[in-house]
Structure 1
């Protein structure tokens, strides 16, 4: 590790405000308000980022909601129903806070439908109920909003900047606000396909994977932009350091808990509760030498410093991505339909 490494903050490769909260929570950042509550037994984390916090964490000022699915089975029908209702409730709150309920919505699904981890947006559009054509003909029923939707593809296949498509189309169709759905990146392996973020700050497509496109927000298109996203990829640095941290906690159990399954290292999968395992610095050094003496932040910086120049800081997605993207996109689409068309489900979220 070179001399500069210890003084350089690691690249926090994430689109999630909750990742930033976990990283900075002990650093006393002002005007970064965070609260946790539950809706239909689904954990919701609300973050309000002020000006000073925005400068520190690199996120726009505004409100971020995190729907936490880390402990849930998103393939269980009852759980899916609760997640849909909870997400719809959060969406309604976000729309109400921005005075957008009942106004003309333009839903845009970003991403490449031919690349599964990036296909969340287009898949959501396939299941979104559109009604603008009915509103134009004055046949829109009570309880339904004026909703239009599209998936503009990606610049690599269209040659057109996503921002240009959205700004032009939203003006052309007279939309009052835009809802953008996109795949995100995270710096925590536990959040892959297990977190849904909703924010009123808009989005910078591709920022989490270092492929920045022009920002789409009120500041750039002069319309409110609600962004919904799910992290589907994580980089090799995160996988490496998270794994090392878990191994240290696991070995710490073996040293301090005689009944721990970690005492019998076998080829059989064993799941231990590592939440309350806090290895000391001496333990870290005993197992990993000088590397163990580094803080987690310094470990991330060092691993990235090694992997990136070699071209090995790859973006990785789970092998179950096909099924999970399909299920999660339906959850988001159904939640959007509930939030935008209250007459469709007659108080489904109440």
Structure 2
């Protein structure tokens, strides 16, 4: 199974050399990097707000500004039609980001350049009986847009990034890749036009959550031991922080478990769970989907709105 839909997490988990440029804007971090894919360079932009909460409208406004700026950089085509595709299953809340964006754009359609914008909600193959790529390709061949913007819900490998992270790329997207339901990719190779994919992680696997919480507990325990000699260990800042520390010093308490690498602990949990895994999502995912879909509609109206009449 692909560990994550977030390319930044995959790069962080490998030893491959991909220079990552990072900029900090208050609480928002913007990361950009490129990966060679056959004969082209794929560009990736990640925008993250680690402390984002669904009620923080000010933070969402700040995110919208950064997303608009980065999208304009990726959207280099200034002429021709733009096909906006909302991928996902609107009956499944965690997977409904793409469909909700299209539904809300349809309500705002008069504010768009209608002769230039194509809105498409293909659903999933279980609903339509067609591969999503075949559906989109048929529209592309008929309507001949210059570029496709594809929005989708993604899978994260890190629980803390759920609904607090945006990925944008010109590398296209492979629907369902994060949950072992791989479909044909939406890409220049399959559609014949550039594809910009934008997504927010809304699900994470129980395997990832379990091993991260256990790692956190071990780090927490180690911090407590290190703070034991302080005047008030419970008040120590280090006691409450989870850091990437060497846990081998805990081997006398936790045995071989403390000597394992993160991946070895993850594999151990997987094997002892009967090689099963589940996908989970935040309990307030409906609120997150509504907030993010509102944000993306605002961004698209800004990027694609009709010029004001003179």
The TM-score with structure 1 as length reference comes to: 0.79
Matched, 1:113 2:90: yes
Relative to structure 1, the CA distance from residue 343 to residue 70 in structure 2 (aligned partners, 3 Å threshold; closer, same or farther) is farther
Give the structure 2 partner of residue 143 of structure 1.
none
How far did 1:297 drift?
1.5
Q: 3-state SS of the aligned residue for 1:304?
A: helix
Whether the 8 Å contact between 2:30 and 2:46 is mirrored in structure 1 is yes
Matched, 1:297 2:287: no
Relative to structure 1, the CA distance from residue 203 to residue 34 in structure 2 (aligned partners, 3 Å threshold; closer, same or farther) is same
User: What is the RMSD computed on CA atoms of the aligned residues?
Assistant: 2.5
Whether the 8 Å contact between 2:219 and 2:247 is mirrored in structure 1 is no
How far did 1:126 drift?
1.9
Q: 2:55 aligns with which of 68, 75, 82?
A: 75
Matched, 1:90 2:70: yes
Q: 3-state SS of the aligned residue for 1:243?
A: helix
Matched, 1:339 2:303: yes
Distance in 1 between residues matched to 2:287 and 2:254, nearest whole Å:
37
Whether the 8 Å contact between 1:41 and 1:82 is mirrored in structure 2 is no
Relative to structure 1, the CA distance from residue 106 to residue 132 in structure 2 (aligned partners, 3 Å threshold; closer, same or farther) is farther
Give the structure 1 partner of residue 280 of structure 2.
316
Q: Give CA deviations for 1:281-300 in whole Å, capped at 9, x if unaligned.
A: 122x2343222211001112
Q: 1:37 aligns with which of 10, 13, 23?
A: 23
Q: 2:225 aligns with which of 250, 255, 259?
A: 255
Q: 3-state SS of the aligned residue for 2:59?
A: helix
Q: 2:249 aligns with which of 282, 285, 290?
A: 282
Give the structure 1 partner of residue 104 of structure 2.
127
Give the structure 2 partner of residue 19 of structure 1.
9
Q: 3-state SS of the aligned residue for 1:84?
A: helix
Give the structure 1 partner of residue 173 of structure 2.
203
Distance in 2 between residues matched to 1:251 and 1:133, nearest whole Å:
55
Q: 3-state SS of the aligned residue for 1:50?
A: strand
How far did 1:38 drift?
3.9
Distance in 2 between residues matched to 1:288 and 1:106, nearest whole Å:
55
Whether the 8 Å contact between 1:254 and 1:262 is mirrored in structure 2 is no
Q: Give CA deviations for 1:181-227 in whole Å, capped at 9, x if unaligned.
A: 00111111111111110000100000011110111100111110000
How far did 1:280 drift?
3.3
Q: 3-state SS of the aligned residue for 2:172?
A: coil
Relative to structure 1, the CA distance from residue 133 to residue 117 in structure 2 (aligned partners, 3 Å threshold; closer, same or farther) is closer
Equivalent residue pairs, number: 301
Whether the 8 Å contact between 1:253 and 1:260 is mirrored in structure 2 is no
Whether the 8 Å contact between 1:253 and 1:262 is mirrored in structure 2 is no
Q: 3-state SS of the aligned residue for 1:153?
A: coil
Moved more, 205-214 or 100-109: 100-109
Whether the 8 Å contact between 1:91 and 1:336 is mirrored in structure 2 is no
Whether the 8 Å contact between 2:112 and 2:301 is mirrored in structure 1 is no
Give the structure 1 partner of residue 33 of structure 2.
47
Distance in 2 between residues matched to 1:62 and 1:40, nearest whole Å:
27
